[in-house]
Structures are given as C-alpha cells and as structure tokens.
Structure 1
Amino acid sequence: MNSQYAVAVHVLALISMHPDHARTSEAIAGSVGTNPVVVRNIIGLLRRAGLLRTQRGVAGAVLTRTPDAVTLLDVYRAVNPPEHLFRLHEQPNPQCPVGSHIQDTLEVVFGTAQRALEERLGQVTLVDVMADLAQRAS
C-alpha cells in the first residue's frame, strides 16, 4: 500500500471538517504537504468511487455521503487496485520443496491478514477520524 491511501483519508477529513468551504487542490496540497497534481489524482479516484462530487471550473469537492457513512474501507477500495494487499511472487520453482507449496501457504496467511485489515477499516468512519483529530488538536 502506498501513501495515496493516507493522503486520500487526509483529503476527505479536510473536506469533511469544512464542508461549506471550497478548497482548491493547491490549498489541499498545502495541508497534505504534497504536489497539487497528486491531490487532483486522488480526488479523481475518490470521485470515480462515488465518495466525492466535483464540478468542472468550480474549485472544491464535496462528499457525496455524510462522514458517518464513509468508512476507511470505502477509501481503501477507492485508491487501491482491486487486487490483494499482499502479492505473491510469480513462478516459484515447482521442483523445490518450498517453491512448490509456498504460494498455497502464503495465500492462507495473506488472505487472513487482508480480511482482518478490511474488517477493521470497515469499522472506522470519517467521523471517527475527525473526532480523533479534534481531540488531538485540543
């Protein structure tokens, strides 16, 4: 998983905290500490996933759902390809006692870890993130 996920959560939390304040990708990038192009790309992924609505020529983006209806799992799925978090290496040697069975073994372990991650992310909403941010800011 790359930093796009953390940036996407940051973007959504920022938009959620100030829903009536349109922010340009430049302003959001200033908060994130990255390039506006990175923010625009992530906003595009979030828009395609149905989490944000944007209008051409209008600065800013708005959530399509209330923050309590957006889970971190929704965000994870929006910015990560539909493949698994853990990838197996290709073409292990079938003649090797490890290579012939490692993929089956790792599929079980990786699948369990993937399900645990997704279950936990599904339990945390943007409201939870915003509450934690507010507590840390006080």
Structure 2
Amino acid sequence: MRVSTRFSDSVHILAFIEIYKSLKLSSELIASSIETSPVVVRRLMSTLRENDLIDTKKGSAEPKLSRSPREITLLDVYLAVEGDKQLFTLDTNTNPECIVGGNIQKVLGNYYEDAKMAALRKFNNVTLQDIIESIQVEQKAKEHHLI
C-alpha cells in the first residue's frame, strides 16, 4: 500500500511559493522541486486555492499565499488536502473468535485516535513560517558543510 504524499507535497508547494515569490512560478518549476508531475502540482494547487491557502490567476505563473505564512498552520494544510482521512488504518478482517482478533480493532483504534489528536494538535501549533525558517536554517548549514 502506497502512503499519500499529498500533505507533504502541499506544504512543499506553499513553502516554495513563499521562498521563490519573486520568480515566475509555473507548475513545471514547482514540480521539478517535488520531483513529480506538473499535473499533480496543478491538482494540489487547485485544492489549496479552493481552501483559501493560495491565490492564483488562470494562465498566469503567479501563485501567491492568500495570507501570511505566520497565519497558515500545518493543520490548515492537512485539513485542506486530507480532510478527515484517517492517519492510521485498522485491519477490519480479523477473527472475532480469537482473543486478539476480536479485540485488536477497538484497542488499537483508541490508541490511533489518541495519536491522531496529538498529531493534529502539533500541526495546529506549527506555522508555514516555522517550516520556511527551518528550511532556511538547513540550507545555511549545508552551505557551511555542517550537514
């Protein structure tokens, strides 16, 4: 089973738009950073636009954040692209006659829900500005051969 990268790709797009805001930002250019198809980028940007995270003009390579990166949280991005999708998936095909198979779904489901809420709370406390600043720190460290 392939894990979705929609969330991380969407954060990537938003950070790219802000960091390179002085350039013409075509979907091809953004896709080259993510190493994906421009079609994938356009679909994600459409979702981000529909959720008021970016502003775009049809036929123009000028996407902009709809608000300050300090005002966009990872939770905003997650909810925009993943909605209420589960972070973890339970196997529902277990033997109900077995002690483990008959109870694992309820037990793991409770832990999964706790983990999801912890992740969403964390996402709500991290802004796009935090991500951008961390990217810039990582880049400076690379340039100084520290990593």
TM-score by length of 2: 0.84
Aligned to 1:125: 127
- How many percent identity over aligned positions? 36
1:14 aligns with 2:16: yes
Shift of 1:89: 1.9
Shift of 1:93: 2.5
Conserved 8 A contact 1:16-1:63 = yes
Cα distance between partner residues in 1 of 2:69 and 2:83: 23
Moved over 4 A (4+): none
- For residues 20-99 of structure 1, what are the structure 2 equivalents within 5 Å? 20-99=22-101
**Cα deviation per residue 1:36-67 (whole Å; 9 max; x = unaligned)?**
11111111221122211222222231111110
Code of the residue aligned with 1:121 in structure 2: it is F
Q: What is the SS of the residue equivalent to 1:98? A: helix
TM-score by length of 1: 0.89
Cα distance between partner residues in 1 of 2:115 and 2:75: 14
Conserved 8 A contact 1:25-1:60 = no
Aligned to 2:104: 102
Q: How many residues align?
A: 138
Structure 1 residue ranges without an equivalent (≥5): none
Code of the residue aligned with 1:105 in structure 2: it is V
Shift of 1:68: 0.2
Cα distance between partner residues in 2 of 1:3 and 1:91: 26
Q: What is the SS of the residue equivalent to 1:85? A: coil
**Cα deviation per residue 1:5-53 (whole Å; 9 max; x = unaligned)?**
2211111001112334331101111222221111111112211222112
Structure 2 residue ranges without an equivalent (≥5): 141-147
Code of the residue aligned with 1:22 in structure 2: it is K
Cα distance between partner residues in 2 of 1:122 and 1:44: 22
Cα distance between partner residues in 1 of 2:37 and 2:115: 32
Conserved 8 A contact 1:10-1:32 = yes
Please provide the CA RMSD for this pair: 1.6
**Cα deviation per residue 1:73-105 (whole Å; 9 max; x = unaligned)?**
111122214122112222432222222211110
Code of the residue aligned with 1:63 in structure 2: it is L
**Cα deviation per residue 1:108-135 (whole Å; 9 max; x = unaligned)?**
1101110111111111111111111111
Code of the residue aligned with 1:37 in structure 2: it is V
